[in-house]
Amino acid sequence: MKTLEKRETILFITGAFVSHTTWNRWISYFEDKGYNAIAPSWPHKEKSAAELRALQPHDHELAALTLSGVVSHYAQIALRLGEKPVVIGHSLGGLVAQILINQGYAKGGVAIHAVPPKGVIPYEFTFLKSSWKLLGLFSSLKKTYLMSFADFQYAFGNGMSYEEQAEAYELYAIPESKRVGRGGLTDAAFVDYSKRHAPLLLTAGLDDNVIPAHLTRRVFNKYRKGTSVLEYAEFATNHSVLTHDDWEIEASYIANFLEINIPAAQPFAAAGLQKV
């Protein structure tokens, strides 16, 4: 277990469609292991899920948010910490985590059931069925998109009881910026797969409809297998892994990966990045 003297910070990064409160149990879990764990929301998503849904579809500030804006938001948070954090992101947050690692803002991290960076075209049927509406083709970018309960059942709640699905939707489902979704198809989602990087773990869910394990394996295979620490692991979970009944199985594996692979504290000055 990490000693309290180290107090490395874990920066949890939320994905699209859901509230940052999905990390609540993970924060407690990793704090019990001696980490300083934080899960700041995306810009314009600080309110509760119910309050954000009440703004749908006219939350114009959120509608204007881009993927580059999300990445910059978390990069600035990392810089303000003074020392490089561990970044752990889920879904689109997993893509952001990979970008931050690739750009030198983190000393390692985990991409949980992550949206693929540019260069891996997601042709898997379940991904397309789960995600294509977020792109908002032929609809106004000035309006946010809220996943319907039926779509949420397929994307996040497959394998769960109706009662569990309804509770999860009420607690966590929030509107999303279509611009962020489209950003995943642009250079904003770029990762240099050949570049040496801090330790990185990619995890996948065998029951995940949004990010099927086959898609994550293709991302894993894009990274250069060199001196960088790179690991891949699969779990019997759906896309709601953060709040799934078996969430602690994956969290425990991640904690072990961090214990083995993450180095001591690294100041940003060593990487030429400036604290703000």
Cβ proximity of 18 and 53 under 8 Å: no
Residue 3 falls within a domain, yes or no? no
Residues of the chain with pLDDT under 70: 1-6, 265, 268-276
What integer pLDDT is reported at residue 4 of this predicted model? 41
Residue 5 CB burial class (10 angstroms; 0-12, 13-18, ≥19): exposed
178-196 pLDDT per residue, tens: 999 999 999 999 999 999 9
In a domain, 85, yes or no: yes
DSSP SS3 for 112: strand
The per-residue pLDDT for 269 is: 64
CA atoms of 110 and 114, how far apart (whole Å): 9
Task: For residue 121, tell me if it sits in a domain.
Answer: yes
Q: What is the pLDDT of residue 61?
A: 97
Which pLDDT does position 154 carry in this prediction? Answer: 97
pLDDT in tens, 234-249: 999 999 999 999 999 9
**19 in a structural domain:** yes
DSSP characters over 37-104: EE-PPPTT--S-HHHHHHTTT--HHHHT--HHHHHHHHHHHHHHTSBPPEEEEETHHHHHHHHHHHTT
Under DSSP, the state recorded for 176 is B
CA distance 253 to 163: 28
| Segments forming the whole domain that contains residue 66 | 9-270
Q: Is position 275 within any domain?
A: no
pLDDT for the residue numbered 74? 98
Give the domain CATH number at 137: 3.40.50.1820
In a domain, 259, yes or no: yes
**Entry pTM:** 0.94
Question: What pLDDT, on the 0 to 100 scale, is given for residue 276?
Answer: 37
Long-range interactions of 244-247: CB distance < 8 A, separation 24+? 247/25, 247/26
Of 200, 198, 181, residue with least CA distance to 137: 181
H helices present in 125-194, as ranges: 125-131, 149-155, 162-172, 178-183
Structural domain count, the chain: 1
| 254 found inside a domain | yes
The pLDDT of residue 128 is 95
Residue 212 bridge partners (DSSP)? 205
191 in any annotated domain: yes
